[in-house]
């Protein structure tokens, strides 16, 4: 969005040649270590893992754990889910493995229909274009995914905005209606002009702001926070809004990697979220894949960094760099007027229960417990009680201070 505001469509980077690796032998050893660790991970390389089913492997799991956002987060279980899972796509589209250059996990999937190649949707797209908006058509999900990709729209935000509209108007969707509205959103035509502003602004204009399931204006992904309290904290505290990837607590709360934590407790979550934010900041800076961190860790990537650059580096060195990145983002947010009031969830999650079942109870999130965990996070992160950065902490991290 920042680039779009500056009228920048793309950046072209040119170079004079390949970067020289300082220690090729050490790099090969680090690579072998990462390959060995990921090969031993069932979540990544197992029969029902990402390499075989893509991220859609999570679809059944989220519904079974009673945390699949349904009907705009009014429920957390979608009864037709078993017919719309990754296995259903595999049967219909016979997908083949595909992925980033050089990757051995290959979590992407390319299917085909009538001999035409089709990009298979990721988990969040599968979930939001079915359960969230009340549709049961895999062909629609594939077409919506294709349309959003071609038009440059995020599938999570697009589907969430449509779910908001459905709750406000009470009108269910047909596949044709969904695809038509998506195109109108991208082109700013008719009702799409308002929908294209996102759920928060659309709901506000419609006089129903409580129906926008967003944090800091960013629509929430396909993990209901009532079913994972670390996720609740991660959504609220993320510097870019309701994002699951800034801390990705699903890894330990649901996948139990690297160790399992109690998903219905805030105990210890403030520190876990802070460390995870720092870790994922450096993972992004290294342009590494978050999925490999289900198995490998910063120790292996510190070896990679040292081998390539020749700079002696430990896992803690990388984590400290991640902390600098994330604290700098808090400074940027503060300069733009964000404070503790923005580090919050929609009220629905504190007042309405989810869909209990399978001997799993999904009560509303305890508001006092959430606020207490947020206060602990501020203290651990080195922020004021209002969620603002401190000059002393910024200087300790070697960051510029702009007289907040």
Q: 34 with 52, same domain?
A: no
Query: Has residue 1 got a pLDDT over 60?
Result: no
Distance of CA 129 to the CA centre of its chain: 16
Q: Over the stretch 337-369, which tens digit does the pLDDT of each residue have?
A: 999 999 999 999 999 999 999 999 999 999 999
Q: Would you place residue 109 in the very low, low, confident or very high pLDDT band (cuts 50, 70, 90)?
A: very high
Q: Report the length, in residues, of the chain.
A: 404
Distance CA 1, CA 269 (A): 31
Largest CA distance in the chain: 62
Six-digit token pair at 63? 């519904």
The CA distances from residue 7 to 2, 3, 59, 184, in Å, are 9, 6, 37, 21
| 258: preceding bond cis by omega (within 30 degrees) | yes
> Helices H, strands E: what count in the chain?
20, 5
Distance of CA 356 to the CA centre of its chain: 24
Highest mean pLDDT of the ranges 14-23, 97-106, 198-207: 198-207
Distance CA 165, CA 128 (A): 14
Query: Has residue 287 got a pLDDT over 80?
Result: yes
Distance CA 130, CA 331 (A): 38
Q: 58 with 187, same domain?
A: yes
- 3-state class of 92 per DSSP? helix
Any idea what the CATH number is for the domain that residue 283 is in? 1.10.599.10
73 DSSP 8-state letter: T
Q: Over the stretch 363-403, which tens digit does the pLDDT of each residue have?
A: 999 999 999 999 999 999 999 999 999 999 999 999 988 77
Beta bridge partners of 215: 218
In a domain, 384, yes or no: yes
Distance CA 258, CA 256 (A): 6
In a domain, 3, yes or no: no
- Burial string for 229-262 (b: 16+ CB within 10 Å, else e) reads bbbbbbbbbbbebbbbebbbbbbbbbbeeeeebe
Q: 207 with 309, same domain?
A: no
Rounded mean pLDDT, 4-20: 82
- 3-state class of 98 per DSSP? strand
Q: Over the stretch 85-100, which tens digit does the pLDDT of each residue have?
A: 999 999 999 999 999 9
Task: Kindly write down the DSSP assignment for every residue of 189-252, as one continuous string.
Answer: -TTHHHHTT-HHHHHHHTT-GGG--EETTEEP-S--GGG-HHHHHHHHH-TTSS-STTT-THHH
Distance CA 177, CA 245 (A): 31
Q: 393 with 340, same domain?
A: yes
Distance of CA 245 to the CA centre of its chain: 4
What residues have CB less than 8 Å from 62, skipping those under 6 apart? 68, 123, 127, 222, 223, 254
327 DSSP 8-state letter: H
Number of domains in the chain: 2
The domain boundary residue, chosen from 206, 222, 238: 222
**Host domain of residue 209:** 48-222
Q: 105 with 150, same domain?
A: yes
Six-digit token pair at 138? 């895999």
Q: 100 with 33, same domain?
A: no
The domain boundary residue, chosen from 222, 251, 274: 222
Q: 290 with 385, same domain?
A: yes
Q: 293 with 383, same domain?
A: yes
Q: Residue 169 phi/psi, 5° resolution? A: -85, -25
């Amino acid at each position: 969005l920042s680039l779009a505001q500056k009228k920048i469509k793309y950046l072209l980077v040119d170079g004079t040649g390949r970067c020289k690796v300082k220690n090729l032998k050490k790099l090969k050893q680090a690579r072998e270590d990462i390959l060995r660790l990921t090969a031993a991970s069932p979540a990544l390389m197992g029969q029902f893992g990402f390499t075989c089913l893509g991220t859609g492997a999570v679809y059944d799991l989220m519904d079974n754990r009673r945390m699949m956002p349904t009907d705009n987060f009014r429920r957390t279980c979608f009864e037709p889910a078993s017919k719309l899972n990754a296995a259903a796509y595999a049967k219909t589209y016979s997908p083949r493995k595909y992925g980033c250059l050089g990757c051995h996990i290959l979590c992407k999937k390319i299917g085909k229909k009538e001999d035409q190649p089709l990009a298979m949707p990721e988990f969040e797209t599968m979930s939001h274009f079915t359960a969230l908006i009340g549709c049961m058509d895999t062909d629609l999900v594939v077409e919506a995914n294709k349309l959003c990709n071609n038009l440059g729209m995020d599938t999570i935000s697009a589907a969430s905005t449509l779910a908001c509209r459905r709750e406000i108007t009470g009108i269910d969707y047909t596949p044709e209606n969904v695809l038509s509205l998506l195109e109108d959103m991208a082109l700013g035509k008719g009702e799409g002009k308002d929908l294209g502003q996102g759920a928060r602004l659309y709901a506000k204009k419609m006089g129903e702001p409580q129906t926008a399931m967003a944090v800091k204006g960013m629509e929430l992904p396909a993990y209901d926070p009532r079913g994972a309290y670390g996720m609740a904290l991660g959504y609220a505290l993320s510097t870019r809004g309701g994002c699951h990837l800034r801390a990705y607590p699903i890894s330990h709360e649901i996948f139990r990697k690297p160790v399992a934590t109690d998903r219905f407790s805030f105990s210890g979550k403030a520190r876990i979220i802070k460390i995870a934010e720092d870790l994922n900041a450096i993972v992004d800076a290294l342009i590494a894949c978050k999925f490999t961190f289900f198995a490998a860790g910063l120790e292996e990537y510190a070896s990679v960094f040292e081998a390539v650059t020749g700079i002696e580096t430990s896992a803690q060195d990388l984590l400290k760099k991640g902390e600098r990145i994330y604290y700098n983002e808090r400074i940027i947010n503060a300069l733009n007027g964000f404070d503790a009031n923005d580090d919050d969830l929609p009220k629905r999650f504190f007042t309405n229960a989810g869909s209990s079942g399978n001997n799993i109870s999904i009560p509303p999130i305890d508001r006092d417990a959430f606020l207490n965990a947020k206060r602990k996070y501020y203290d651990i992160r080195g922020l004021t009680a209002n969620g603002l950065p401190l000059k002393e902490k910024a200087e300790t991290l070697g960051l510029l201070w702009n007289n907040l």
